[in-house]
Amino acid sequence: MYKVLIVDDERNIRHGIQAMITRKFPQTFECIVANNGVSALELMQTDEVDILLTDIKMPEMDGIRLVKEIQKLKCKPEVIIISGYDDFEYAKQAIKYQVKDYLLKPINRNELYDTLERILQDVESANDATNDFDEYRANQLNYIFIHPNIIEKEIEAICLKVLLGRFSGGYYVGAMIDNGTEKLAQIRAITTKRKSGEEVLCFSDKNRNMVLITSTASIFTEISLQYEGKDCAIGVSEKQYYYSKMKKAYEQSIFALKNHFLFTGKTCIQYADLKHKDVDKNVPIDDLKKIANMLGTNRDQEIKTRLLEVLNVGEISTLGIAYMEKLHIAINTIILDSAYSKLGEESIEILKHHDKVGDMYNFENFYDYYYALEQLILLLHEYSKQLKSVYSEQKNMEKAIRYIHENYHKDLNMAVVSNHVSLNYSYFSHMFKEYTGNSFVDYLKKVRVNQSKKLLTSPDLKIFEISYMVGYKNPKQFTRVFRELEGVSPKEYNRGV
C-alpha cells in the first residue's frame, strides 16, 4: 500500500479527505494525518510517505514552506496542494517545487480521485523504471565481481555508467549472508533512513550474499547492533577511493565474511583486521597422517586427542580462514578420501557424512564442522575396526577349514580345531557356522564322506579300511553317516560306481 499524509489545521477537512480516499481506495492507500507543517515534517523524517496533500494557510509552518523543507528529504513524496484561496502566486510557488496538482476547497471528490490515480500511475511507472535500472546496475556490478580476468579500466568504465557519480568521496563494500527476503527488507529499511549525503546501495550477488556499497562505515555498526547476539555477520572491506578498485573491495568483504566461520560471536568483521594473518604457515601433515594410520586400531582416545590438537580453534583463529581452508583440504585428502577409498561404498551412512563434511562451508561455524568431522572420523575408525575384525575372522576360518581338510582322518573335534586357531570354543562354533553354513559336526561329516567316495572307486580297499582312513574307527558309524548323506550305503554306492 502507498502511504498518504493529509495536512490541514481544520480537523473536519483533513478527516473528510481521509474518509473519501479510504472509501474509494481501501486496498491502495493508507492515510495518516497532521494538523500543521511542523508535525507533518517530523512524521516524514521518521517514516517514508508516498503522497503529501497539504493546505497552504496553516500556523507554525505553512504548506509552501513545508514543500520547500521536504526537498531536503532523501525520499521525497509526490505533493498535492489544497487551498481555499485561488491565488496565482501560490500556484507559481507550487509549480517551482514540482507539485503534482493544486486543488481548491471545498474538495471535489472526482478531481481528487483523478489526481490520485494519475499520481499512482506516475509513481508505478517511476518505480518500474527505478527497479529496472536497479536490476541492471546489480547485474553490471555482479559481472565485475564474477569476471575472472576483468581489468581495472573496464571496472571503472562500468562503475561510471551505473553509479552515476556516487561515492566520489570514497566507499566501503560490505557482504552479508542473505537468509531471505525478510532480512533483505530489514537491511534495506536501515539503508533508506540514512542521513542526507550518506550514499548506500544494497543488492544481492550471484552467491546469495547481500552486498552493500556505502560512503560511510557507520551503517555497518548500525547493522551489527541490530543483529548483535544473532547468527549473523557482515564482512567489510577497506575504504577505496577509485571505482577501479570495486572488485578488490568486494573480494575483501567476502574474505572478511568467510572469517565468521571462525569468529561466530563477532557480527562485524573488518578486512583490515585480517590482512596480516599468517597464511603461509604449513598445515601439520605428519599429525594428519598419524590420525589416518590410527584408524581401525584400539587407539580411540588418541585419535580424539590428536584431532583436537590439529583443530585448535584458538590457534586457527590467529591464523585466519585461509589457513583453515588449507587445513580442511589436507584433512579431506589425507584422512577422509584415503580412508574412504579403502572402505569403498559399503556404508551409506558414512557416504552421507562424507559428502557433507567434505565442504566445511556446509556448516555455519567451526564448532559445527568440528563435531561433524569428529563423528565421521570415529565412524570411519569403527568401520575400519569391523573390517579388520571380519578380515581376521575370515583368515581364522580359512585356517580352520584348511586344518580340517588336512586332518579329517584323525580323531578330530571342534575343541581341537578351535584351539588350533586360538579362538574361544563357543565363539568359534558361532563363527564357523556363520562362515560355512554348517555346524562343525555336519561339515566334518561332509568332508569325510566326500573323501570316502573317492576311495570307494578303488577295488582293492575294503569298506572297514576306508572307514578307518576317513576317521571312523567304527565301520557301522561310517555306514550310518554315509547313508545319512548319500541315501545309500557305501557298499551300494560302490556297486553303482
Question: In this predicted structure, which of 77-81, 185-189, 208-212, 236-240 has the lowest mean pLDDT?
Answer: 185-189
> What is the number of other CB atoms lying within 10 angstroms of the CB of residue 363?
17
Whether the Cβ atoms of residue 17 and residue 6 lie closer than 8 Å to each other: yes
Asked whether the beta carbons of 264 and 246 are under 8 A apart, the reply is: no
Residues 19 and 107 in one domain: yes
- Same-domain pairing of 202 and 248: yes
Question: What pLDDT score does 347 carry?
Answer: 55
CATH number of the domain within which 162 lies: 3.30.70
Q: Put the strands of the sheet holding 101-104 in their side by side order.
A: 29-34, 2-7, 51-55, 78-83, 101-104
Q: For 326-370, how does the pLDDT look when each residue is reduced to its tens digit (9 = 90+)? A: 999 999 999 988 777 766 555 556 666 677 888 999 998 999 999
On whether residue 429 sits in a domain, the answer given is yes
* C-alpha to C-alpha distance for 275 and 277, rounded to whole angstroms: 6
What pLDDT sits at residue 58? Answer: 87
Residues 6+ apart with CB under 8 A from 240: 170, 171, 172, 173, 246, 248, 249
3-state SS class at 171: strand
Q: Is residue 139 part of a domain?
A: no
Helix (H, G, I), strand (E, B) or coil at 194: coil
300 with 236, same domain: the answer is: no
Residues 97 and 8 in one domain: yes
- Look at residue 435 and tell me if it is in a domain: yes
Kindly tell me if the per-residue pLDDT of 287 is higher than 90. Answer: yes
The parent domain of residue 38 ranges over 2-126
Q: What is the pLDDT of residue 131?
A: 78
- Please check the confidence at residue 387 and state whether its pLDDT lies above 80: no
Within this chain, do residues 350 and 440 fall inside the same structural domain, yes or no?
Answer: no
423 forms beta bridges with none
163 is a domain residue = yes
Domain shared by 317 and 335, yes or no: yes
Check residues 149 and 86 and name the one with the higher pLDDT.
Answer: 149
Contacts of 167 (CB under 8 A, 6+ apart): 199, 213, 215, 243
The answer as to whether 457 is a domain residue is: yes
pLDDT > 60? residue 180:
no
Q: Is residue 111 domain-shared with residue 157, that is, in the same domain?
A: no
Q: Residue 357 carries which side chain, given as an amino acid letter? A: V
Is 133 domain-assigned? no
Q: What is the mean pLDDT of the chain?
A: 86
Helix and strand totals (H; E) in the chain: 22, 10
Lowest-pLDDT range of 152-156, 228-232, 342-346, 408-412: 342-346
413 and 465 co-located in one domain: yes
Q: Mean pLDDT over residues 265-273, rounded?
A: 88
| pLDDT surpasses 90 at 285 | yes
CATH number of residue 12's parent domain: 3.40.50.2300
Residues 406 and 380 in one domain: no
Residues with Cβ within 8 Å of residue 445, at least 6 apart in sequence: 481, 484, 485
Q: Other CB atoms closer than 10 Å to residue 10's CB: what's the count? A: 13
In this structure, the answer to whether residues 351 and 266 fall within a common structural domain is no
End residue of a domain, out of 270, 295, 325: 270
pLDDT at 289 over 90: yes
Calculate Rg over the CA atoms of the chain. 43
- Lowest mean per-residue pLDDT among 169-178, 249-258, 272-281, 336-345: 336-345
Task: Give the pLDDT band of residue 427 (cuts 50, 70, 90).
Answer: confident
Residue 343: all three cell numbers together: 572402505
323 compared with 93, residue with greater pLDDT: 323
**239 and 300 both lie in a single domain:** no
The pTM of this model reads: 0.60
On whether both 196 and 225 belong to a single domain, the answer is: yes
**Residues recorded for the chain:** 497
The mean-pLDDT minimum among 76-80, 181-185, 440-444 falls in 181-185
99 sits in the region (left: phi over 0; alpha: psi -120 to 50; else beta) called beta
Query: Does a structural domain hold residue 474?
Result: yes
Q: How many domains does the chain have?
A: 4
- The per-residue pLDDT for range 72-112, each reduced to its tens digit, is 887 789 999 888 766 656 666 766 777 888 888 888 999 99
Answer whether residue 301 shows pLDDT above 80. Answer: yes
Last residue of a domain, one of 356, 387, 418: 387
216 vs 85, more confident: 216
Q: How confident is the model at residue 231 (pLDDT cuts 50, 70, 90)?
A: low
Q: Tens digits of per-residue pLDDT, 35-61?
A: 999 999 999 988 889 999 998 888 888
Domain-ending residue, one of 387, 407, 436: 387
Strand partners, 101: 80
**Residue 314 in this model has a pLDDT that exceeds 80:** yes
Measured CA to CA in angstroms, residue 387 lies from 222, 295, 314, 346 at distances of 56, 11, 36, 11
